Structure 1
């Protein structure tokens, strides 16, 4: 895609990877609106010159209100990036984890679908555009400490594949961003996390390819994406299971 002339709505772009990419799209020359729940962060980003819209992807009315405001600001909107998501550890031996399960599914999976559904009619009417979903390397190579997070990201991958097939021939493309651990708030405890600026630069280079790849895979996520193919899956899952020692009452295997 031509990253210098897009009209972009970044759903969940008030921090982390979303904000990094929003800033890079704007620096490249695109018009960008960032959506999020925290009014204080939206005020800061508006002062920075980004368009802002309040949105809560778990609330259907909020999503529709945000859609209408985004299309008022960017009537030629052609790119929707569904960045909103959370990731939290879970102890699956403790039924209390189910609260985390419900919240994670509501935001990561149902929130993504809700946002896509809100903007798909506009993109179809235009006859061109791009939807960029956000899965994770954890969707392909589980991190057992974050069980539901990985499950939602695997679901996003499957949903993205189906969405691409259903929109084929309409002019609306579907790309899937597959991040590895990146040095954001979510990935801050991982010593192997990629630097945010380096990740952003690599992603934008991939997005700028023509055609844009169906999966946006930086070098740092290839070991996750192709673990089963490469025969490294079982060993890598065993290594990643060592993190379960962080849970109360657990010890390293």
Structure 2
């Protein structure tokens, strides 16, 4: 994608990867609008980065998505980049009882939220001379973490959706890119400084460099081997990955 001269809307833009992407694009001179559920955090981002606007949005609420989409088209007619970044990652137990309300929140936020928001904005994006949709999935789309089974499943589903959407938009001005972060040291789980987690600034620098290309999928080198489909070895890979984390758990 062209990383300058854009009007960009980023969901989940008040912390972690979303805020860091917002600030990186803002530093390049783009008009950036961030979304989040809490006005105080939106105001904090805007105060720290004059020129970044904030919009309250509950990405799990279809009516709120429709409201915000209409406002974006009205107030930011040059909008040409949508970054579907918002996500939640509660732990669960696929070998036991799954709380239905929690599962629905994860699916509504991580999967249906990006689908609904993109659908609400897609006709507007098609009118732009160039436009980009960026979906933030996860390395867990390819290598599920057993203790976040529903989260991992939503990221796998969003990856699949991005593949189909990219094909369907092939003859339009809209391009689809996907970023698939490894474990990045943010507050998605708990910012801990764990040496297994990639520092946020390093992840953002590498991701911004990747987004500046025509790559359909932007992944950092640290997860390239995991991204390469292990084929018939998939089960052994997933089992070994999760056994290692049982032995040395992620801090929560």
Return the TM-score normalized by structure 2: 0.90
Count of residue pairs brought into register by the alignment: 245
| Residue 158 of structure 2 corresponds to residue 171 of structure 1 | no
**Aligned-pair CA distance for 1:222:** 1.1
Q: Residue 172 of structure 2: SS of its match in structure 1?
A: coil
Q: Is the 8 A contact 1:3 1:29 kept in 2?
A: no
What residue is the counterpart of 1:25 in the other structure? Answer: 25
Where do 5+ consecutive residues of structure 2 fail to align?
A: none
Alignment RMSD (CA, Å): 2.1
Query: Within 1, Cα distance between the matches of 2:95 and 2:19?
Result: 35
What residue is the counterpart of 2:202 in the other structure? Answer: 198
Distance 1:165 1:81, change over 3 A: same
Q: Is the 8 A contact 2:32 2:53 kept in 1?
A: yes
Q: Is the 8 A contact 1:141 1:237 kept in 2?
A: no
1:153 to 149, 152, 155: 155
Distance 1:191 1:229, change over 3 A: farther
Higher mean C-alpha displacement, 215-224 vs 110-119: 215-224
Deviations 1:126-155 (A, max 9, x none): 253011111110010111111011100000
What residue is the counterpart of 2:5 in the other structure? Answer: 5
Distance 1:29 1:150, change over 3 A: same
Q: Is the 8 A contact 2:94 2:146 kept in 1?
A: no
Distance 1:134 1:73, change over 3 A: same
Deviations 1:173-214 (A, max 9, x none): 0111111110001253553110001100101101112xx210
Query: Within 2, Cα distance between the matches of 1:235 and 1:92?
Result: 18
**Aligned-pair CA distance for 1:241:** 3.5
Query: Within 2, Cα distance between the matches of 1:142 and 1:237?
Result: 10
Q: Residue 35 of structure 2: SS of its match in structure 1?
A: strand
Query: Within 2, Cα distance between the matches of 1:89 and 1:226?
Result: 26
Deviations 1:100-133 (A, max 9, x none): 2221111101111011111101011225301111
Higher mean C-alpha displacement, 117-126 vs 25-34: 117-126
Query: Within 2, Cα distance between the matches of 1:14 and 1:195?
Result: 18
